[in-house]
Amino acid sequence: MTKRRGRGEGTIYQRKDGRWVGMYTVHTLDGAKRRCVYAKTRAETRVRLTEAVANRDKGLVFDAGNLSVGGYLDRWLEAIRGTVGERTWERHESIVRLHVKPAIGGTKLAALNPLQVQSLYRAKSRSGVLAPGSLKRIHTTLHKALKQAVRWQMIPRNPCDSVDAPKGYRGEIKPLDKAQVRTLLDAAKEAQPRLYALYVLGVTAGMRQGELIGLQWNDLDVEESRLTVKRSVFKGKVNAPKTARSSRTVRLAGLAVEALREHAAYRRAGAPWVFSTRNGTPLDCGNFHSHHWKPLLRRAGGCRT
């Protein structure tokens, strides 16, 4: 086998059967790989090789190798961990594990097509198990993951762009009226006095649940009727606020100031958290929903959020 090299044209050689081969390198998720172009003459091979190298340099070479959809999603989850909120990452991981991988995880990433994605959505919808919002989140996660695969030049286009996305629930949010708020707070003060101030802040301060749970005593300035949102807590893990704008100062209503003054009686020595367990640790959101929020709604009767 005679091997020749032309300046700037990669590696070109002639095989024993007389055909010419041009070799060049592409970089994939699994490392550098050699690619080949073929022609009957050296001149034609040089033209094809030059075109292939130009396409590679323009980002027009896509190589997912033999990677499956499931294998790619595992790598994607590992890659984004730490770049999104813990709660967001856990939701993505759960959707991938429970819904996407069992259905299309074995499909080659390079072969995934819109019909397979649409069939996944249809099957989940027809099962009658998932709420519209859950179906929408499956699409959101898969679309986000495959959009990254396009950016990583593993596939040329996102199959999710060509499907009819599930429609999430778009019902109008109906805030509690004054009478419902009063009923809810009266029930909280009677049944859960240690968390009464949390409920007051919840209906007057416009704070997320994680921000309420993440509130520390040094974030409060009761004399000036304000507090500063500096963090969020989810399952015991402290995170920065969800967005840059989420770090903010909140003006407190008179009812909230009064509730926080009374709440100081529950302050545990040495514990920084305003709303904590009896051991001084932050509340767990799941435990809060199951053992505090839902029972309170039942006690309050017609109040629904």
In which band, very low, low, confident or very high, does the pLDDT at 173 lie, cut at 50, 70 and 90? Answer: low
Answer whether 69-162 and 178-300 agree in fold.
no
In which band, very low, low, confident or very high, does the pLDDT at 255 lie, cut at 50, 70 and 90? Answer: very high
Percent over 70 (pLDDT), the chain: 89
The pLDDT value recorded for residue 303 is 58
The pLDDT value recorded for residue 302 is 55
Average pLDDT over residues 251-275: 92
CATH number of 178-300: 1.10.443.10
Residues 57-84 have pLDDT tens digits of 765 555 566 789 999 999 999 999 988 8
The pLDDT value recorded for residue 142 is 97
* Single pTM value for the model: 0.57
Residues 95-141 have pLDDT tens digits of 999 999 999 999 999 889 999 999 999 999 998 888 888 999 999 99
The pLDDT value recorded for residue 9 is 46
For the cut 50, the answer to whether the pLDDT of residue 6 exceeds it is no
CATH homologous superfamily of 69-162 equals Tyrosine recombinase, N-terminal domain (1.10.150.130)
Average pLDDT over residues 165-174: 68
The pLDDT value recorded for residue 8 is 40
Average pLDDT over residues 2-22: 71
The pLDDT value recorded for residue 156 is 80
Average pLDDT over residues 29-51: 82
Tell me if 25 sits within 8 A of 37, measured CB to CB.
no
The pLDDT value recorded for residue 203 is 92
**Annotated domain spans of the chain:** 2-57, 69-162, 178-300
Across 153-157, 173-177, 233-237, 266-270, the highest mean pLDDT is recorded for 266-270
Average model confidence (pLDDT) across the chain: 85
Residues 266-304 have pLDDT tens digits of 888 888 999 988 888 888 888 888 888 888 888 777 555
